[in-house]
Amino acid sequence: MKDNKLKRYNIYIEGEWINAYNGETIEVHNPATGEVLGYVPNGGEAETKEAITAAEKALKEWRELPANVRSGYLKKAFHIMMEQQNELAEIITLEQGKPLNEAVGEVQYAAGFLEWYAEECKRVYGETIPAWSPNKRMIVIKQPVGVVAAITPWNFPAAMITRKMAPALAAGCTVVLKPATQTPLTAIKLFEIFETAGIPKGVINLVTGSAKAIGKTLMEDERVRKLTFTGSTEVGKKLMEQSAKTVKNLSLELGGHAPLIVFDDADIDKAIEGTIASKLRNCGQTCIASNRFYVHEKVKEQFIKKLKDKLKNYKVGNGMETGVEIGPLIDGNSFEKVKEHIKDALDKGATLEFGGKAHHSGINHKGGYFIQPTLLSNITNQMLITKEETFGPIIPVITFETEEEVIKMANDTNYGLAAYFFTESLSRAVKVAEKLEFGIIGINDGKVSSPQAPFGGYKESGIGREGGHYGIEGFLETKYISMKI
């Protein structure tokens, strides 16, 4: 039964806020309580096709605009977003669960992409190539790839949208966005901001609803020239298959299984700070979360003792409450997976050093899935937790003795997104960073994301890079012009 007092939101196609054509809606839940926050349209194939048509129509003018004009729209959106940061952060906490101060941090991070690409779009340079013949001239120009499909996840409902849309718009592309089903309200608020910034009709379009139907329609439509996706490796592979028929340009930011290594020459306090920063952000629900903790035999006792002392102070709860530093997991499936990883490790001989408690307090199994930060030692390679991405606040400690051994273990995965290590030796820092097969390396640093840096992974963690000048390249075609004079 629908609660008529709750707001019904709309999708945004060609500058109009509309319902799904069949009038169907989807509930949006608060993951801390299970309460319904509102209803969004359950769009599908028809709405998606309409959005693609709008984006294709708008492309002709948008891509012709001088770069400084496109820059102006992005700058304006950046300023409005910063003015409304608290309002936006509240929406993020309500529908995604992260503590309010973390949500404010996400809004600033997200706005940073608008600011960065407002500048970067003025620097999309071409090239002239010295020809081998006196009567030839060779020129390379960059042009927008065209209509972009952006599919974004729930864990960073604002930042993953701007990380994709800001470079796409800067490059001169138009966009159809499908936000995560769990977190559409942040996307809607962002589109209100883009609308206020005056971004012309059809340049940006938003369709909420069935991920399957929207995704398939976007992938099969030949007018969509690019897919930019953040999500699981499993879904990324499916989208790749679907996009093969129309040979789309792809940027995929997929799963991770980050190792964090503490060498015997590490500053243990830095290692603890890095562990907390890389693991507890967003309740461990980030693709770059450290997931396997390799600690040298000689410093294991010290690391575990210091970490336990820190973890004791963390308050788990509803992110809207003051003092809460760890919010809920997004849903029941995540809750079961995290609990299974803990149980499997304990059944196979791990030691519970801290935490381990999980409780459910939500309504109708729609939220309220809380888990204590958990520290486990005596972990072996037979345990699930060393093989799969956990997406929860669990710290499994594995010991090692040699640099060679730990690099081998760290690289022994199909994922290659992020890796962290702690050492005070400069030459070790350089050597290990070069040997790790990951796209992002944190040396004595657990907080690596930034709008101006390339984000992306090796192996099955994805294709392409987002952020910085690398991020705009994925939205540009390279055209070579040969001239005989």
Of 17-25, 281-289, 351-359, 433-441, which segment contacts ligand SIN by CB under 6 A? Answer: 281-289
Provide φ and ψ at 325, rounded to 5°: -115, -15
Among 449, 457, 462, 465, binds ligand SIN (CB under 6 A): 449
Distance from the first to the final alpha carbon of the chain: 73
Based on the residue annotation, tell me whether 253 is a catalytic residue of this protein. Answer: yes
Q: Which residues contact 72 (CB under 8 A, 6 or more apart)?
A: 118
Q: Which is nearer to ligand SIN, 120 or 403 (CB)?
A: 120
Shortest Cβ 246–ligand SIN spacing (Å): 26
Based on the residue annotation, tell me whether 47 is a catalytic residue of this protein. Answer: no
Q: Which residues contact 67 (CB under 8 A, 6 or more apart)?
A: 121, 122, 124, 170
Packing angle between helix 159-171 and helix 67-83, nearest 10 degrees? 160
Structure tokens at 27: 């509930």
Residue closest to ligand SIN (Cβ) = 449
Of 173-181, 211-219, 282-290, 437-445, which segment contacts ligand SIN by CB under 6 A? Answer: 282-290
286 is a contact residue toward ligand SIN (CB under 6 A): yes
DSSP assignment of 83-112 equals HTHHHHHHHHHHHH---HHHHHHHHHHHHH
Q: Which is nearer to ligand SIN, 21 or 109 (CB)?
A: 109
Shortest Cβ 74–ligand SIN spacing (Å): 19
> What residues between 157 and 176 interact with ligand SIN by CB under 6 A?
159
Of 74-82, 207-215, 284-292, 408-416, which segment contacts ligand SIN by CB under 6 A? Answer: 284-292
293 is a contact residue toward ligand SIN (CB under 6 A): no
Shortest Cβ 467–ligand SIN spacing (Å): 8
230 is a contact residue toward ligand SIN (CB under 6 A): yes
154 is a contact residue toward ligand SIN (CB under 6 A): no
The answer to whether 373 and 352 are in contact (CB under 8 A) is: no
Of 50-58, 92-100, 151-159, 359-367, which segment contacts ligand SIN by CB under 6 A? Answer: 151-159
DSSP assignment of 275-299 equals HHHHHHGGGG-STT-EEEEEEEGGG
The answer to whether 397 and 303 are in contact (CB under 8 A) is: yes
415 is a contact residue toward ligand SIN (CB under 6 A): no
Q: How many residues bind ligand SIN (CB under 6 A)?
A: 9
Closest residue by Cα to residue 439 from 456, 453, 459:
456
Shortest Cβ 89–ligand SIN spacing (Å): 16
- Whole-number CA gyration radius for the chain: 23
Among 288, 316, 385, 406, binds ligand SIN (CB under 6 A): 288
Taking the CA of residue 14 as centre, how many other CA atoms within 13 Å lie in the half-sphere pointing to its CB?
Answer: 11
Shortest Cβ 234–ligand SIN spacing (Å): 15
Taking the CA of residue 150 as centre, how many other CA atoms within 13 Å lie in the half-sphere pointing to its CB?
Answer: 31
Of 127-135, 154-162, 169-177, 199-207, which segment contacts ligand SIN by CB under 6 A? Answer: 154-162
Q: Which residues contact 156 (CB under 8 A, 6 or more apart)?
A: 106, 109, 110, 282, 286
Q: Which is nearer to ligand SIN, 156 or 294 (CB)?
A: 156
Per the residue annotation, which of 121, 173, 283, 287 is the catalytic one? 287
Q: How far apart are CA 2 and CA 181, in angstroms?
A: 18
440 is a contact residue toward ligand SIN (CB under 6 A): no
Structure tokens at 188: 């809607």
Per the residue annotation, which of 102, 253, 389, 403 is the catalytic one? 253
Among 149, 287, 324, 375, binds ligand SIN (CB under 6 A): 287
Q: How far apart are CA 408 and CA 339, in angstroms?
A: 28
156 is a contact residue toward ligand SIN (CB under 6 A): yes
Task: Give the residue numbers annotated as catalytic, written as ranges.
Answer: 253, 287
Note the residues at the interface with ligand SIN (CB under 6 A). 155-156, 159, 230, 253, 286-288, 449
